[in-house]
Structure 1
Amino acid sequence: MTTQHPPVQNATGTMPPGADPAGDPLAAEPVVAGRSPARIAWNRIRRDKVTLVAFVVTVLFIVIALLAPVLTALTGWGPITPDGRAINPDTGNFPRGSLGGISAHHLLGVEPGTGYDLFARVVHGLRTSLLVGFASAVLSTVVGVVAGLAAGYSGGWVDSVLSRVMDVMLAFPQLLFIIALTPVIQNALQTNSHGGTDENLRLLVLVLNIAVFAWAYTARLVRGQVLSLREREFVDAARIMSAGRAHILFRQLLPNLWAPILISFALAVPQNITTEAALSYLGVGVVPPNPDWGSLLSDASQYFLQDPMYLFIPGVLLLVLVLALNLLGDGVRDALDPRAART
């Protein structure tokens, strides 16, 4: 009489080669692997074709912006390098040829009046727009997260004061106040030999002005989440173990807020890019001849009837960029929604 031994599994929980699973009813069941929330969110994004296309387009724009000096060096034209032969003085310095002077030498044509290569100005303007959009979004998100954590967890007079400040900031007509404040601050910070403001300093002022009026949105969102999380058992356990306030805020509460913070950041970037373009269009952002999409649109509006491509190209690119960022933000929000089906 022989003794039947149960099948032996290896360290991974699977049957070794040649083993007979008939004697073990659990051997045929598949091994269920746990997935992190980030992995689940990424799987949802990959299945959402619209979000995936928006992600690819956004990455493409970012890569083009990072490689702008390389791309313009390959074409041989800088953003403020005029080509007098590409414009015709007999027609008011409009581009020679059709479609705004598009040719093998100028991939997107040239600017009327100046002869600047439009491709070089577009890719360098993209760097400016993305820099201002992402930098202001990062700054406003950091300030909003800290303020929201402090207001939601502290309560009492701290919450009351910060909440009233948020209400005041949300009530401001953001664009109007930025238009009023930006030139005042820039004129007070004249740093170059021509009595103007250094371009990097102008961008810094622009980033700060946009972030000052944008942080309250993130703060209000974070405060609402913290008000719910601070009553959870893991926070009570941290208090019982004599954990400090900083530990509870940044080690217990903050890791549970990354989803709404990421959503807020993803939606803030396109809004800030649009704001920056609007400010440059109105003449209080990036100053010509430095490239920027808003200033390009402002200049192109004067030549629309004679050279529509000058307005069409940067206008469509700005639309595609902002649309891709908005769709990506919506997709990230849906992917991180805990109420959605776990697929």
Structure 2
Amino acid sequence: MTTQHQPADTGGSTALLTEPPTQDPRPGGTVVAGRSPARMAWKRIRRDKVTTAALLATLLFIAIALLAPVLTALTSWGPITPDNKAINPDTGNFPYGSLGGISAQHLLGVEPGTGYDLFARIVYGLRTSLYVGFASAVLSTVVGVVAGLAAGYFGGWVDSLLSRVMDVMLAFPQLLFIIALTPVIQNALQTNSHGGTDENLRLLVLVLNIAVFAWAYTARLVRGQVLSLREREFVDAARLMSAGRRHILFRQLLPNLWAPILISFALAVPQNITTEAALSYLGVGVIPPNPDWGALLSDASQFFLQDPMYLFVPGVLLFLLVLALNLLGDGVRDALDPRARRG
């Protein structure tokens, strides 16, 4: 069993040594194979009931999003197909019934005024939230890792330049600038026949705007780790063996950074989902009739007194999704860095 070149004392979350094989002290004992860092982290996650529950809840939300077409086929109503027979024109187009129009056809009721099936809107809106959250987290993580590696390893003017850029990005009030930039960019990219922006392009702009203001957090974290790792013995050994910069960066340093990178990614996803919901709530994210949880909450706030279920259902589901992702991120952090676990 071979181990990585990283010394045992790696300063926190970068301790990724595989446990060495050990000899059973009993007579006739056998060699017990060491466990990889991933297996040790997975074992800690399985022992933590809260993290396990959060993981199962996250997987359930992802499965619902992926199976949205199948689930909505059961009710025969799509996310932008109104059911005018489910709303009462005599009461201002509010749903029939006392629970927001919940019935066998509409499992969670219908939207007041439009008659859209709320179940279909929610499961398709979940796809939007997860897509924006994960896509922006992946993009910001990739950019942050590359920038952090370059700043920490090369140092000098490269470090100074990238560090100043990080400081500038961290100083921006993220939400305010995204609110200002998103409609400007979308209006400049009018692509459909109605003078609006294609929905896929709107989502891409939203992902890019969130990622642009989020990568600096990961870059600052990676830079600090690289500054410590580049002075370690295994990096000096690689240099003595005439290893190139690419080999040192991606074969020596990067494998020892996967724990903080994964933790940063896990914590960025729920934050990005919350940001996307806030932008849609304010009218600069996903625009109706395309489904989105933030837009649902914005519309539902106008009908809360007459139809509280319209606000209650998407609000509780958004809370549960973000809570599950946050608990999962905390559990991943504790599993990968048990010495930093809070008491």
Long gaps (5+) in structure 2: 1-22
Hey, what does 2:61 align to over in structure 1?
61
Distance in 2 (CA, whole Å) between partners of 1:126 and 1:340 is 33
- Whole-Å separation in 1 of the counterparts to 2:30 and 2:113: 70
Alignment match, 1:278: 278
Counterpart of 2:16 in structure 1 is none
SS class of match (1:100)? coil
Cα deviation digits, residues 115-170 of structure 1 (max 9, x gap): 00000000000000000000000000000000000000001111011001101100
Q: Deviations over 1:179-215 (max 9, x none)?
A: 0000000000000000000000000000000000000
Matched, 1:242 2:213: no
Q: Determine whether 1:216 maps to 2:216.
A: yes
Could you tell me how far apart the structure 1 residues matched to 2:98 and 2:31 are?
64
Q: Determine the C-alpha separation between the residues in 2 that align with 1:105 and 1:260.
A: 47
| Counterpart mapping for 1:89-108 below 5 A | 89-108=89-108
Q: Which amino acid aligns with 1:120?
A: A
- Alignment of structure 1 residues 59-208 onto 2, 5 Å: 59-208=59-208
In the TM superposition, residue 244 of structure 1 has moved relative to its aligned partner by 1.0
Using the alignment, how far apart are the partners of 1:72 and 1:184 within structure 2? 34
What is the identity, as a one-letter code, of the residue corresponding to 1:143?
V
User: Aligned-pair distance for 1:285?
Assistant: 0.3
Q: Within 5 Å, which residues of 2 pair with 1:223-302?
A: 223-302=223-302
Query: Post-superposition, which runs of at least 4 consecutive aligned residues in structure 1 deviate over 4 A?
Result: none
Determine helix, strand or coil for the equivalent of 2:339. Answer: coil
Distance in 1 (alpha carbons) for counterparts of 2:237 and 2:168: 36
Amino acid at match of 2:172: F
Q: How many residues align?
A: 319
Structure 2 CA distance for aligned equivalents of residues 33 and 109 of structure 1: 56
How far has the Cα of 1:30 moved from its partner?
6.2
Offset at residue 32 of structure 1 (A):
2.6
Percent identity, aligned pairs only, is: 89
> One-letter code of the match for 2:228?
S
* Residue 339 of structure 1: how far off its partner (Å): 2.4
Task: Tell me whether 288-297 or 235-244 shows the greater mean CA deviation.
Answer: 235-244
- The one-letter code sitting in structure 1 at the alignment partner of 2:245 is R
Shift of 1:176: 0.1
Partner residue in 1 for 2:332: 332
Give the CA deviation at 1:338.
5.2
SS at structure 2 position matched to 1:288? coil
TM-score of the two chains, using structure 1 as the length reference: 0.91
RMSD value, Cα: 1.5
Structure 1 residue runs without a partner (length 5+) = 1-13, 15-23
SS where residue 75 of structure 1 aligns?
A: coil
